[in-house]
């Protein structure tokens, strides 16, 4: 044994080959935490000190190679000044990664499983890389708002060319073994059981002088082989393209390109200095702070979800009632992820629609080469269309997705319950109606809960699992298990009108209607909110959701929270509804819609809308972007605060994640409660009070809660 630590061991085998093995104790994965970095430095020194060693292979004792840096340690590092972060990262490069790369003997990485971020960087400091055909490599850093920092932007372009490195780093995508081999990021791909032998054989060829590892090493330490014109072409074109794709709120991908461009003519050590400056700059951005927070929050959510799912047990067979927009989507998602499902409707037309919707989604996947025709047939076979309750006595869960009408739902739920096994779960996909109220006619309310999907089901990650007054924890656990099996992100919430996400969305839409009433142009509101980071502005969102759905949901919310969601004026939504402008579904709402070349609805400004709205407009205000944004965001964020105080979700993190996964809250802003923290609670409260003064009938939606005022006074925050 040459070295034995808690994360790394180094052993010597015949012929003077050392094996440096990453195997972090008491953890399921290898990652670069402070301990591992420290041990890598020590292990490298131990190898250097052993004169009998002639080559090194780097392996992993776990199913993964190394998943990357330990993100839980980012908070401490990123809290330092930009200069200090850069200095710290440079020091790690110098003392750990460069020290290993500069060992006077050849090294080969045996990439057995995923090697991401720092894990891939470890592989890149080796002279050669052999990869299992099942493994994946990549740099996901830009998705966290940062760039690779342990030599990724330095070594990768020198190895695979600037254009390919830009694509890999800016996209953050994982790369399969065949791609890695094709681009030259690895030198060989073999089946997993041959991996270690292949690595040993490669390193021995270096030792025997059959392979010139020094020349190979030199390639990734020298300036890039691009002349000035080529460099301008590659980097400038990429910057323009990537900036357009990422948008102004996500500066990391473009920063990575700028770093590679600046460092193109530099040696390794100079290039690493540029890289360290680049990552330090990104680490200090709000986007990085929030995206890293989101990643960690997501890990917590998935951990609690998995532990609930374990208790709840697997759903073997499911059923859905209603084959409409939502029922069809639920059936598709269940079948695609492997759970057979009965799709029941009262009308053959409904069933035909549900099946054709699933068929369209599947055909698209076949066209894109993501699915074979046989797989598509398999998925369709898992959806059993039905006009009767046949087979309901053999399912573990039934999801009700019939029309949003409490009377109809009461009747349907009560009837369905009699057709099911007594231990099976009944769940409603209602978007607004109280779960406790829906449970009233049921004999087994303990087996009933909400399972609220978002439209379109196959695309939106969130599922709210709603606990009614009588819902048993077993029912919640089983429903969470099903949501996870469907590839969704379940968030467990307590019952109230609109549950978590629609309750928080409602005052936002109210604020929109209030601004329109004051004469603010809705196109200007949409533009301001899209610039703020929303995927679509509120008018466009209402058109996509459906004005009728919005009006209906609004009525339920008004009843639930009259102090801030009931309006004593005629709203622009009502005008749209009365004029049969239902949104995208009938081609006209706030905007008009026409099919684009691919047949998808494209919005166009419809000049006739202004005249329709004129009777309900009582002002002619023009507001700047900042005022529009604050006027829209404050009521939404305050409702998130109320949900937090009312215990609707179990944590502030769950609230923020639900908004990001359910309605596309801009991820770089971290969610509503992170947004308040970043605003500064005292400034937020002051701004809310200021806007309340001019909000007229919407005043209630702008008034901070007493607890929030207390937090402002005591300098408290929702996070850390």
Torsion of CA 305, 307, 309, 311, to 10 degrees: -150
Q: What part of residues 176-195 is at the interface with ligand NAD (CB under 6 A)?
A: none
How far are the Cα atoms of 631, 633, 685, 694 from residue 514, in angstroms, in the given order? 9, 13, 20, 11
Residue selected from 69, 89, 321, 476 as contacting ligand NAD according to rule CB under 6 A: 321
- CA proximity to 66, closest of 11, 41, 102, 29: 29
Spacing of C-alpha 446 from chain mean position: 32
Cβ-Cβ contacts under 8 Å for 524 (sequence gap 6 or more) = 622, 623, 628
Nearer to ligand NAD (CB atom), residue 321 or residue 575: 321
Nearer to ligand NAD (CB atom), residue 140 or residue 498: 498
Residue 696 is given by DSSP the state: G
Residue selected from 8, 21, 144, 323 as contacting ligand NAD according to rule CB under 6 A: 323
Asked if 325 interacts with ligand NAD (CB under 6 A), we say: yes
Residue selected from 327, 340, 537, 635 as contacting ligand NAD according to rule CB under 6 A: 327
Nearer to ligand NAD (CB atom), residue 325 or residue 500: 325
Burial 98-133 (b: 16+ CB within 10 A, else e): bbbbebebbbbbbbbbbbbbbbbbbbbbbbbbbbbe
Nearer to ligand NAD (CB atom), residue 346 or residue 614: 346
Asked if 124 interacts with ligand NAD (CB under 6 A), we say: no
Q: What part of residues 535-554 is at the interface with ligand NAD (CB under 6 A)?
A: 545, 549
Asked if 662 interacts with ligand NAD (CB under 6 A), we say: no
Asked if 344 interacts with ligand NAD (CB under 6 A), we say: yes
Compute the distance between CA of residue 100 and CA of residue 293 in angstroms, rounded to an integer.
Answer: 32
Asked if 347 interacts with ligand NAD (CB under 6 A), we say: yes
Residue selected from 402, 449, 477, 575 as contacting ligand NAD according to rule CB under 6 A: 402
Cβ-Cβ contacts under 8 Å for 102 (sequence gap 6 or more) = none
User: For 600-705, where are the alpha helices, taking DSSP H only?
Assistant: 608-613, 625-645, 652-663, 672-679, 681-693
Residue selected from 293, 305, 322, 514 as contacting ligand NAD according to rule CB under 6 A: 322
Residue 252 is given by DSSP the state: H
Q: Whole-number minimum distance, CB 484 to ligand NAD, in Å?
A: 19
Compute the distance between CA of residue 275 and CA of residue 279 in angstroms, rounded to an integer.
Answer: 6
Asked if 555 interacts with ligand NAD (CB under 6 A), we say: no
Burial 78-88 (b: 16+ CB within 10 A, else e): beeeeeebbee
Q: Count the Cβ atoms, other than its own, within 10 Å of residue 700.
A: 18
User: For 247-312, where are the alpha helices, taking DSSP H only?
Assistant: 252-262, 268-283, 286-312
Nearer to ligand NAD (CB atom), residue 64 or residue 402: 402
How far are the Cα atoms of 218, 335, 360, 439, 479 from residue 321, in angstroms, in the given order? 64, 15, 21, 16, 16
Q: Whole-number minimum distance, CB 583 to ligand NAD, in Å?
A: 11
Sign (positive or negative) of CA dihedral 473, 478, 484, 488:
negative
Residue selected from 149, 251, 324, 550 as contacting ligand NAD according to rule CB under 6 A: 324
Pairing of strands 3-4, 341-344: unpaired
Number of residues binding to ligand NAD, judged by CB under 6 A: 25
495 touches 450 (CB < 8 A): yes
Spacing of C-alpha 393 from chain mean position: 37
Segment near ligand NAD (CB under 6 A); pick from 267-275, 323-331, 373-381, 472-480? 323-331
Asked if 503 interacts with ligand NAD (CB under 6 A), we say: no
Prior bond to 325 cis, omega within 30?
no
Segment near ligand NAD (CB under 6 A); pick from 179-187, 252-260, 361-369, 398-406? 398-406
Residue selected from 60, 142, 255, 431 as contacting ligand NAD according to rule CB under 6 A: 431
Q: Whole-number minimum distance, CB 388 to ligand NAD, in Å?
A: 10
Q: Which of helix, strand or coil describes residue 450?
A: strand
Q: Whole-number minimum distance, CB 567 to ligand NAD, in Å?
A: 21
Asked if 345 interacts with ligand NAD (CB under 6 A), we say: yes
How far are the Cα atoms of 506, 635, 675 from residue 690, in angstroms, in the given order? 21, 13, 18
Q: Whole-number minimum distance, CB 661 to ligand NAD, in Å?
A: 14
Residue 452 appears among annotated catalytic residues: yes
Q: Whole-number minimum distance, CB 416 to ligand NAD, in Å?
A: 8
Nearer to ligand NAD (CB atom), residue 70 or residue 345: 345
Cβ-Cβ contacts under 8 Å for 279 (sequence gap 6 or more) = 85, 86, 89, 146, 147, 148, 149
Asked if 257 interacts with ligand NAD (CB under 6 A), we say: no
Q: What part of residues 439-478 is at the interface with ligand NAD (CB under 6 A)?
A: 453-455
Asked if 300 interacts with ligand NAD (CB under 6 A), we say: no
231 touches 261 (CB < 8 A): yes
Asked if 438 interacts with ligand NAD (CB under 6 A), we say: no
Residue selected from 125, 326, 484, 641 as contacting ligand NAD according to rule CB under 6 A: 326
Choice among 452, 458, 552, 573 that is catalytic? 452
Query: Which residues participate in catalysis according to the annotation?
Result: 452
**Site residues (CB under 6 A) for ligand NAD?**
321-327, 344-347, 350, 401-404, 412, 429-431, 453-455, 545, 549
């Amino acid at each position: 044994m040459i070295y034995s630590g808690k994360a790394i061991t180094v052993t010597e085998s015949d012929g003077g080959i050392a094996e440096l093995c990453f195997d972090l104790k008491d953890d399921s994965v290898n990652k670069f935490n402070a301990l591992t970095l420290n041990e890598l430095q020590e292990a490298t020194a131990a190898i250097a000190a052993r004169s009998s060693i002639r080559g090194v292979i780097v392996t992993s004792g776990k199913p993964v190679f190394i998943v990357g840096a330990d993100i839980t340690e980012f908070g401490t590092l990123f809290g330092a000044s930009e200069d200090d972060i850069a200095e710290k990262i440079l020091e790690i490069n110098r003392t750990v990664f460069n020290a290993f790369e500069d060992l006077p003997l050849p090294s080969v990485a045996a990439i057995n499983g995923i090697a991401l971020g720092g894990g891939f960087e470890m592989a890149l400091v080796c002279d050669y890389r052999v990869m299992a055909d099942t493994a994946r490599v990549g740099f996901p850093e830009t998705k966290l708002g940062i760039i690779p920092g342990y030599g990724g932007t330095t070594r990768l372009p020198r190895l695979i060319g600037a254009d390919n490195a830009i694509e890999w780093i800016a996209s953050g995508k994982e790369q399969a073994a065949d791609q890695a081999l094709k681009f030259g990021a690895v030198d060989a791909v073999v089946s997993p059981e041959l991996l270690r032998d292949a690595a040993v054989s490669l390193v021995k060829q270096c030792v025997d002088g059959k392979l010139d590892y020094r020349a190979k090493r030199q390639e990734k330490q020298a300036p890039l082989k691009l002349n000035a014109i080529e460099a301008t072409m590659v980097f400038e074109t990429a910057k323009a393209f990537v900036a357009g794709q990422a948008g102004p709120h996500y500066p990391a991908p473009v920063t990575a390109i700028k770093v590679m461009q600046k460092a193109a003519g530099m040696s390794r050590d100079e290039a690493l200095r540029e890289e360290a400056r680049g990552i330090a700059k990104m680490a200090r951005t709000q986007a990085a702070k929030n995206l890293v927070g989101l990643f960690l929050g997501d890990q917590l959510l998935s951990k609690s979800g998995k532990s609930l799912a374990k208790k709840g047990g697997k759903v073997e067979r499911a059923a859905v009632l209603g084959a409409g927009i939502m029922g069809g989507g639920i059936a598709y998602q269940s079948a695609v992820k492997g759970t057979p499902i009965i799709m029941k409707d009262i009308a053959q037309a409904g069933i035909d629609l549900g099946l054709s919707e699933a068929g369209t989604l599947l055909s698209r996947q076949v066209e894109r080469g993501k699915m074979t025709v046989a797989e598509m047939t398999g998925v369709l076979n898992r959806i059993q269309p039905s006009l009767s309750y046949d087979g309901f006595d053999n399912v573990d869960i039934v999801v009700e997705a019939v029309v949003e009408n409490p009377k109809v739902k009461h009747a349907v739920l009560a009837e369905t319950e009699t057709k099911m096994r007594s231990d099976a779960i009944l769940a409603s996909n209602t978007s607004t109606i109280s779960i406790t109220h829906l449970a009233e006619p049921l004999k087994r309310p303990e087996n009933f809960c909400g399972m609220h999907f978002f439209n379109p089901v196959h695309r939106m990650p969130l599922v709210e699992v709603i606990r009614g007054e009588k819902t048993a924890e077993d029912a919640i656990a089983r429903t969470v298990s099903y949501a996870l099996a469907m590839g969704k992100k379940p968030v467990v919430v307590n019952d109230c009108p609109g549950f978590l996400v629609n309750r928080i969305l409602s005052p936002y839409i109210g604020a929109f209607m209030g601004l329109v009433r004051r004469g603010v142009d809705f196109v200007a509101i949409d533009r301001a909110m899209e610039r703020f980071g929303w995927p679509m502005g509120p008018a466009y969102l209402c058109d996509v959701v459906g004005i009728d759905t919005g009006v209906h949901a609004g009525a339920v919310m008004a009843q639930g929270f009259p102090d801030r969601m009931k309006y004593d004026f005629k709203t622009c939504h009502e005008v749209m509804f009365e004029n049969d402008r239902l949104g995208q579904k009938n081609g006209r709402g706030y905007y008009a819609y026409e099919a684009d070349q691919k047949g998808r609805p494209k919005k166009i400004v419809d000049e006739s809308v202004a005249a329709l709205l004129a009777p309900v407009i009582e002002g002619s205000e023009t507001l700047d972007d900042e005022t529009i944004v604050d006027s829209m965001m404050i009521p939404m964020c305050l409702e998130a605060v109320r949900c937090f105080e009312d215990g609707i979700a179990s944590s502030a993190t769950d609230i923020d994640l639900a908004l990001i996964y359910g309605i596309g809250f801009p991820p770089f802003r971290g969610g509503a409660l992170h947004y308040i923290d970043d605003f500064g609670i005292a400034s937020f409260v002051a701004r809310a009070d200021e806007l309340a003064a001019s909000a007229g009938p919407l005043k209630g939606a702008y008034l901070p809660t007493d607890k929030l005022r207390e937090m402002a006074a005591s300098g408290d925050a929702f996070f850390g």
